[in-house]
Structure 1
Amino acid sequence: MGEQPIFSARAHVFQIDPSTKRNWIPASKHAVTVSYFYDATRNVYRVISVGGTKAIINSTITPNMTFTKTSQKFGQWADSRANTVYGLGFASEQQLSQFAEKFQEVKEAARLAREKSQDKTELTHQSLHLGSQQMLPSPLIGINGPGDEKLFRSQSADTELTTEKERLKKMLSEGSVCEVQWEAEFFSLQDSNNKLVAALHEANANVEQWKKQLAAYQEETERLRQRVSELEARGTQEASSTVGAEETGRNVEDLEALLKAREQEIHTLKSQNPEARDLESERDVNLQKLQEAESRNLELERQLRHAEQMLEEVLTEREKMQSEVTKVGEQLDVKLFELSELRQGLAKLVENN
Structure 2
Amino acid sequence: MGEQPIFTSRAHVFQIDPATKKNWVPAGKQALSISYFYDGTRNSYRIISVDGAKVIINSTVTPNMTFTKTSQKFGQWADSRANTVFGLGFSSEQHLTKFAEKFQEVKEAAKLARDRSQEKTETSSNHSRESSHEIPTSPQASSVNGTDDEKATRPAAIETLLKNDNDRIKLVSAQGSTATNKWEQELQSLGENNARLSIALQESTNNVEHWKKQLLECKEEGDRLRQKIVELEGQCADFTEEKERNTRLSRIVKELEADINEKEQELERLREDVQLIPQLMEQCEDLQKRLQAAENTNKELENKTKSLKSNIEESRHKQGNLKKELTSFLEVLDGKIDELHGFRQGLAKLGMDN
TM-score clears 0.5:
no
Q: Pick the TM interval, shorter chain.
A: 0.3 to 0.5
TM-score (norm 1): 0.38
TM-score normalised per structure 2 = 0.38
Q: Which has the larger radius of gyration?
A: 2
